[in-house]
Amino acid sequence: MGLQCLLIVILFLLGCAESRSSIHAFNHTDIQVAIEDMRSKSYYGFAMLLQMLNGTSQPIRELTFFMPDDRELSSASISADEIDEFLLSHAIPMPLYFNDLSHFPTGTVVPSGVSSRMIHIHNRGRGDYFVNNAQIVSANVCLNSVIKCHGIDEVIEYDA
């Protein structure tokens, strides 16, 4: 019964995200506003990666980004042709405030922006919420755009 309820909640959230997509189409103003929100909370490295990608790749859809801080990003090895994949592997393809994320119980698996990579949720409340190996340390950084983002303490790792 619990698994069925979880699947219904996830399908409901996916349906809400799709209906929001038709109401609010992504535009470049959204990305610029999200970048400004990131900068205002000192996520300069992630904002720079997003700005480098802006206009050079497929349009970015409504997303929730999980942003490692600048110290963690500086230790990541990301080539110019991997920026798109790196950013999308640190995202969920729907805009979610932390309050929305907090409804996902421990053990929930959600798709990342890269179709072959899944994000595993470990939820024990606001101070103890993980996406794979990374803990959310700064919730609701991006508030002024359809794009949402949360700061994390590490680069997200995926099983091989």
At 7, the pLDDT band (50, 70, 90 cuts) reads very low
The tally of domains found in the chain comes to 1
Give the tens place of pLDDT for each residue, 22-75.
333 445 688 899 999 999 999 999 999 998 876 555 556 789 999 999 999 999
Domain region containing 129: 2-152
Q: Is 56 part of any domain?
A: yes
Q: Are the CB atoms for 149 and 64 separated by under 8 Å? A: yes
Which residue pairs from 44-53 have beta carbons closer than 8 angstroms and sit at least 24 positions apart in sequence?
44/70, 45/69, 45/70, 45/73, 45/74, 46/70, 46/73, 46/149, 49/73, 49/78, 49/83, 49/86, 49/87, 50/87, 52/80, 52/83, 53/83, 53/84, 53/87
Q: Is 159 part of any domain?
A: no
At 21, the pLDDT band (50, 70, 90 cuts) reads very low
pTM (global) more than 0.85: no
Could you give the CA distance from residue 44 to residue 29 in angstroms, rounded to a whole number?
A: 18
Q: Is 158 part of any domain?
A: no
DSSP 3-state percent helix, strand, coil across the chain (nearest 5): 40, 20, 40
Could you give the CA distance from residue 50 to residue 20 in angstroms, rounded to a whole number?
A: 22
Tokens of 81: 């042709």
For residue 98, the model assigns a pLDDT of 96
The CATH number assigned to the domain holding 110 equals 2.30.180.10
